[in-house]
Structure 1
Amino acid sequence: MSLLELKDINVYYGAIHALKGISLNVEEGQVVSLIGANGAGKTTTLRTISGLLRSKTGSISFMGKELRHESAESIVRLGISHCPEGRRVFADMSVKENLEMGAFTRKDKKEISQTMDMIYDHFPRLKERMNQMAGTLSGGEQQMLAMGRALMSKPKLLLLDEPSMGLAPILVKEIFNMVQEIHNMGTTVLLVEQNARMALAISDYAYVLETGHISLEGEAKSLAESEEVRKVYLGG
């Protein structure tokens, strides 16, 4: 049984058919990437998994449990955390307060404190800025905070949407190193990323989305070597 399994997912924005019968699997312990152009349906897929959008058909199974009719809060409690596109930190709250918000489903204060210490170990810059307002952080630091906040719920699966968007090349490399660290900590990752080259380099498996449907899938290494993928998504 896959950790996450989507079957025949169809999502609409009014009359617009955004996802057209997509099916995909994420195995436990993997990094799986969704790549594709803007508007292909990548963010919509993550928002549907996390309960922010609803599919008209099919099933979304996580650890054998059907999610299609669960609330977004219930889905977090089941072990899926969503780090959204655009970071969306709470600008007027401190770094520490933002991290505490990520633990809203948890009650044991000692365990929450241990998780926060672990995040500070992996993101030392957040520890240096723990009392700083999140809105005053750089783009890269805000991305670290968004990822750290998502990890505060101790998810089994992290949905990570465009973590490198808008960042300088040197920071992009740092963020991808952190994604690998998160994976090494034992968290399964479903990654949406426009930087297809970097995404495929750290992934086990990948899906190519094209106008709402999956046009290609396979082991990430094979897709990175595919002439079609190289020409369209990797700049030749």
Structure 2
Amino acid sequence: MFEIHDLQVNFGGIQALKGISLSVEDGQIVTLIGANGAGKTTTLRTASGLERPSGGTITLAGQDITRASARERVKQGLVQVPEGRRVFPKMSVLENLELGAFLRKDRAGITRDLRDVYERFPVLADRLKQQAGTLSGGEQQMLAMGRALMSRPKMLLLDEPSMGLAPLFVQEIFDIIKAINEAGTTVLLVEQNANMALQIADHAYVMETGRIVLSGTAAELSASDEIKRAYLGG
């Protein structure tokens, strides 16, 4: 479904990504874990077209999208839920959700997908006219995910979905990610809560200072003494 090969990104004289490669099979959840500053968010921003690579390739469903615009990538089914939610605070919940479908013209399909979002996130259905900025952090994360689903993604990029959330919301968000995946959406997940990420992922990559330093099945990495010491508190 998705592949990054030898991806390099420079910010001025600093090389943020130093030739990373990873792949995500259709239907998988793949997680990218690592410390702050490892390059995880830069990887997602480059994958979604918000940063330009200085080398390497990005393919989606076999098509090279390395030079495609962010808008074109959304049209092709690659959608990101950014770190920090980034909802539009002065707009209503419904307006935020409708913005997720801004490239679509099928009104009947949009209406059906809104109903699906309300079923998946009942709290949003109760607050359609409420300003998004007045929602709790967990509710804003649900809104950001619902907004992304309104574009009908084939591939969902999730950047730190549990950041700053109460433990109760963290479990709920991870349950929702798993349900979204089981409904047919492939997921690449960046997450500092490595323990939770490895519980739901099929495959995992570990990043350090702009490089992939370890990869394997989520079960293999969960059992690794090195990973336990570095990321799982073991």
Superposition map of 1:1-236 within 5 A: 3-236=1-234
Alpha-carbon deviation of 1:43?
0.5
| CA distance in 2 between partners of 1:105 and 1:35 (Å) | 32
| CA distance in 2 between partners of 1:129 and 1:13 (Å) | 41
Runs (5+) with no aligned partner, structure 2: none
For residue 58 of structure 1, give the secondary structure of its aligned residue in structure 2.
strand
| CA distance in 2 between partners of 1:129 and 1:16 (Å) | 44
| CA distance in 1 between partners of 2:143 and 2:47 (Å) | 22
Alpha-carbon deviation of 1:150?
0.6
CA RMSD of aligned residues (A): 0.5
| CA distance in 1 between partners of 2:211 and 2:36 (Å) | 13
Runs (5+) with no aligned partner, structure 1: none
| CA distance in 2 between partners of 1:134 and 1:185 (Å) | 26
Alpha-carbon deviation of 1:129?
0.7
For residue 231 of structure 1, give the secondary structure of its aligned residue in structure 2.
helix
For residue 147 of structure 1, give the secondary structure of its aligned residue in structure 2.
helix
Alpha-carbon deviation of 1:119?
0.6
Identity fraction in percent: 61
For residue 107 of structure 1, give the secondary structure of its aligned residue in structure 2.
coil
| CA distance in 1 between partners of 2:186 and 2:142 (Å) | 18
| CA distance in 1 between partners of 2:9 and 2:233 (Å) | 30
For residue 153 of structure 1, give the secondary structure of its aligned residue in structure 2.
coil
| CA distance in 2 between partners of 1:196 and 1:52 (Å) | 25
TM-score, normalising length: structure 1: 0.98
| CA distance in 1 between partners of 2:134 and 2:219 (Å) | 39
| CA distance in 2 between partners of 1:130 and 1:13 (Å) | 40
| CA distance in 2 between partners of 1:8 and 1:181 (Å) | 31
Deviations 1:44-63 (A, max 9, x none): 00000100011111110111
TM-score, normalising length: structure 2: 0.99
| CA distance in 1 between partners of 2:225 and 2:183 (Å) | 33
